[in-house]
Amino acid sequence: MAPIGSDILYVQRLLEAGSIVAIPTETVYGLAGNAYDETSVLKIFRTKRRPSFDPLIVHASGLQQIQGFVKPLPSKALKLARRFWPGPLTLVLEKKSTIPDIVTAGLPSVGVRVPQHVLTLQLLRRLDFPLAAPSANPFGYISPTTPQHVQDQLGIHIPYILDGGACAVGVESTIVGFDAEQPILYRLGGVSLEAIERTVGPVKVVHQANNHPQAPGMLTSHYAPKNPLILGKLPELLAAYATQQVGVLAFQQYRLGVVHNRQVVLSRTGNLEEAAQKLFAALRTLDTLPVEIILAELVPSIGIGRAINDRLKKAATCRVRC
């Protein structure tokens, strides 16, 4: 299994030698490699078993480094970068040739961001290259938010996991692209749609795609547990599946008639930020229990709640009256 630790110098040497490693961010743990090195990037795809048509996000130490490998930013992109970096926002920008086509699935644009995590920022500032880093999990499964999550799934395939503790945000970054100066939201995430629009005005929202996505995280099925997840109104779901062994993912309150240790409540106080931080860990917990199905409900669709609901819908086997 992979060592788990905080040795940034060792991680730097591994990356400079062409290896891939797991790194922490404020959103989820990433599987990182040299974004300029096609061989390293190919290792990411193979280790995750990620389809080559799904592009990767590139992480950098700051706006200055990013401007070295993308073409001039639209003015609204620059506003967003200055407002939300470091932070859970990815911008899709026209790339220069230094970013290999394998990173972008052949697209002329690349998703880039500056992560808000002290260890990873220290690492990025020591490197002469940015890091391509999708989530550090097998493709399509629940994203990892702790070092142990990475260990459980990819520990035998990578040489090191940089331990940054539990991720503070817990869902992936918001992704925004541009058509000239028109902002386009490709994925809901850690920065709310409301916050984006307060900064740059109205945003066009693009729905997910099954093939040839324009940005990471747009596939219809994603973030899914191994057990079937049914999404709807919990009282109705519990009645419909009363004869089966169920696990329950609830927003604020435990449900009568279900064993307490087969339920996870995301936030007893209704705090959406807390719910987002706990979401993926909760799905993993329920996926390890002796249950046949997982029943889940949506949260209020405001702020980061939109991103939580997006992940639940993509994880769901089916949706009932939601």
Q: Is the pLDDT of residue 228 over 80?
A: yes
H or E segment and range at residue 90: strand 89-94
Q: Is the pLDDT of residue 194 over 70?
A: yes
Token pair, residue 205, equals 């929202």
Task: Return d(Cα 40, Cα 209) in angstroms, integer.
Answer: 27
The pLDDT of residue 257 is 87
* For residues 42-46, average pLDDT: 98
The pLDDT of residue 304 is 97
The pLDDT of residue 217 is 65
- Considering the domain delimited by 229-320, tell me its CATH architecture: 3-Layer(aba) Sandwich (3.40)
In the chain, CATH 3.40.50.11030 sits at 229-320
Q: Is the pLDDT of residue 221 over 80?
A: no
The pLDDT of residue 321 is 46
Q: State whether the Cα torsion 102-53-71-19 is positive or negative.
A: negative
* For residues 112-124, average pLDDT: 98
Q: Is the pLDDT of residue 322 over 50?
A: no
The pLDDT of residue 86 is 98
Query: What's the pLDDT band for 224 if we cut at 50, 70, 90?
Result: confident
Query: What's the pLDDT band for 10 if we cut at 50, 70, 90?
Result: very high
Q: Is the pLDDT of residue 218 over 80?
A: no
The overall average pLDDT reported for the chain is 94
Q: Is the pLDDT of residue 116 over 60?
A: yes
The pLDDT of residue 144 is 97
More confident: 16 or 320: 16
* For residues 39-58, average pLDDT: 96
Task: Return d(Cα 260, Cα 244) in angstroms, integer.
Answer: 16
The pLDDT of residue 216 is 72
The pLDDT of residue 212 is 61
Task: Return d(Cα 92, Cα 78) in angstroms, integer.
Answer: 12
Say how far residue 59 (Cα) sits from the centre of its chain. Answer: 13
* For residues 252-280, average pLDDT: 96
Q: Own/partner pairs for 259-268, CB < 8 Å, 24+ apart?
A: 261/289, 262/286, 262/289, 262/291, 266/299, 266/308
CA distances (Å), origin 182, targets 76, 205, 284, 299, 307: 8, 11, 38, 29, 21
Q: Which residues are CB-contacts of 247 (< 8 A; sequence separation ≥ 6)? A: 227, 262, 263, 264, 286, 289, 291, 293, 294, 295
Say how far residue 55 (Cα) sits from the centre of its chain. Answer: 13
* For residues 64-80, average pLDDT: 97
Q: Is the pLDDT of residue 46 over 50?
A: yes
**pTM above threshold 0.85:** yes
Rg (CA), the chain: 19
Peptide linkage before 24 cis (omega within 30 of 0): no
* For residues 137-151, average pLDDT: 96
In the chain, CATH 3.90.870.10 sits at 4-72+96-170
Q: Is the pLDDT of residue 187 over 50?
A: yes
| CATH code of the domain occupying 4-72+96-170 | 3.90.870.10
* For residues 268-272, average pLDDT: 98
More confident: 278 or 215: 278
